[in-house]
Amino acid sequence: MKLRNGLLLGGAFLAGVAALPASGLLTRTLGPSLGIPSALAQDAQDQGGNNADTYRLLSLFGDVFERVKADYVDPVSSKTLVYNALNGMLSGLDPHSDYMDPSQYNDMQVQTRGAFGGLGLEVTGDQGFIKVVTPIDGTPAAKAGIKPGDLIVSLDGKTVEGLSLNDAVNKMRGAPGSKITLTIKRDGVDKPIEVTLTREVIHVQIVHQALYGDIGYIRLAEFDETASAGIRKAVESLSQQAHGNIKGYILDLRNNPGGLLDQAVAVANDFMTQGEIVSTRGRHADDDQRWDATPGEDIIGNAPLVVLVNDGTASAAEIVSGALQDNRRAIILGTRTFGKGSVQTVIPLPGDNGAIRLTTARYYTPSGRSIQGLGITPDIRVAETATPELSFGPAHESDLNNTLSNTGGVPETSGPPPRTDLPPVAKEIPAKPPANWPSFDPDKPGTDFQLQQALKVVQAMAGENTATTR
């Protein structure tokens, strides 16, 4: 069976139902298709101990299954019952483990390749809400003005209450050209917002670049299979545009919800020449892994680098931020990150039955920190707005239900030593915009307070490098 490690997006549920010995119904009807070994129940009984308890609980499940199958008000298929049970089984473990039916698994594979159908929204679920993590740049959702933190409360006039995250996502997907109306609750807005969107085939351009004077700016929206290649292409394009005269770079990982673990390692490696990038530790010591940077010159020639982060910076984006911070390769500027420090393994199931997305490890930064529930604390704290915006719904991993504990890492106070390499201008950077700062407009970089402070820091770092090389 092929295993694939990745910090993936969205939510769904689990698979791998065992035979239910109360009547053998599940084994007879679904065992062959779901890969259920018919002797599992007997093995559990023979082995005793905890396995015997498992046998009893599976018998309970079988009793409930048969009762629902026989007496529910409407006929319901065995597959629907099992899929629903699998959904509940995994969603109760943690916010990121789930089961994907064949259609959902195919959608996930397409999405990680950088093209999929729908509205262009990354969403998560908690406490019955569907929360927007981020709209994807250039998609119908982004063009309609949907914002991170928006809560989707109904679809085409029907409430999302009671829907699983997968069901809500499936309703938002559909044939290109078809329309759907979302009703949104937004912080600071008293009335519901209705937005009608036209579905498109989403071709995700996850890397955007710009040249601000002699500073190169690169925004990475997520970590799909093209992330590292896109970063390298952006650096090459910016260098050509500036005729090689670039003093430093800004890597913008704000509202980047993560993605594939291997791409997180690759992107961090793009900017590092030595040192550890990340390690993972799971239930079994034999499965622990560590990734180190490849010796050689990084893609920006060791130029000054500032990384922008906020509470929407999660998982794979936190791996990159933590690696560059602990190795003193970049200065992290912004606000505390989301705090998703777990690794999910995608396990395809036999017989075209979808896949399990199962939390199998925690990851640790090079200094040994687990950022699970804590996030990455920036080296220079800069808020996005002059007044803190109240969040309706989860702003960090620690706000979700059933989150993993933060264990196995060094204490937060025993992480990397305080930085002594920050440029003097760091002490002059305001922690928040002045009261008269203009409202943020994504088409006007001058209104992006965090970006403007990052430009100051990179310029100062570039000046110091020039002074030391003379």
Q: Where are the domains of the chain?
A: 115-203, 207-469
pTM (2 d.p.): 0.71
User: What local confidence, expressed as pLDDT, does residue 114 receive?
Assistant: 59
pLDDT mean for each 10 residues of the chain (470 residues): 33 25 36 42 48 86 93 93 88 85 80 70 76 83 90 93 82 86 91 93 85 97 93 97 96 92 96 96 89 94 97 92 96 93 87 87 92 90 79 60 66 70 94 91 90 97 61
User: What local confidence, expressed as pLDDT, does residue 201 receive?
Assistant: 84
Is residue 99 within 8 Å of residue 83, measured between CB atoms? yes
User: What local confidence, expressed as pLDDT, does residue 246 receive?
Assistant: 96
| Total residue count of the chain as it appears in this document | 470
User: What local confidence, expressed as pLDDT, does residue 465 receive?
Assistant: 62
Is residue 149 within 8 Å of residue 393, measured between CB atoms? yes
Q: Which of 205, 136, 163, 166 is nearest to 14 (CA)?
A: 166
Compute CA distances 465 → 336, 342, 455, 458, whole Å. Answer: 28, 37, 15, 10
Answer positive or negative: Cα dihedral of 287, 293, 294, 298.
Answer: positive
User: What local confidence, expressed as pLDDT, does residue 35 receive?
Assistant: 41
Is residue 309 within 8 Å of residue 333, measured between CB atoms? yes
Token pair belonging to 326: 């602990």
Domains 115-203 and 207-469 share a fold: no
Is residue 147 within 8 Å of residue 135, measured between CB atoms? yes
**Other Cβ atoms closer than 10 A to 193:** 16
**Other Cβ atoms closer than 10 A to 146:** 24
Is residue 227 within 8 Å of residue 206, measured between CB atoms? yes
User: What local confidence, expressed as pLDDT, does residue 402 receive?
Assistant: 57
CATH superfamily of 115-203: PDZ domain (2.30.42.10)
Half-sphere exposure of 256 (CA within 13 A, CB side): 30
Q: How far apart are CA 161 and CA 329, in angstroms?
A: 45
CATH topology of domain 207-469: 2-enoyl-CoA Hydratase; Chain A, domain 1 (3.90.226)
Positions annotated as catalytic residues are 315, 326, 340
User: What local confidence, expressed as pLDDT, does residue 452 receive?
Assistant: 97
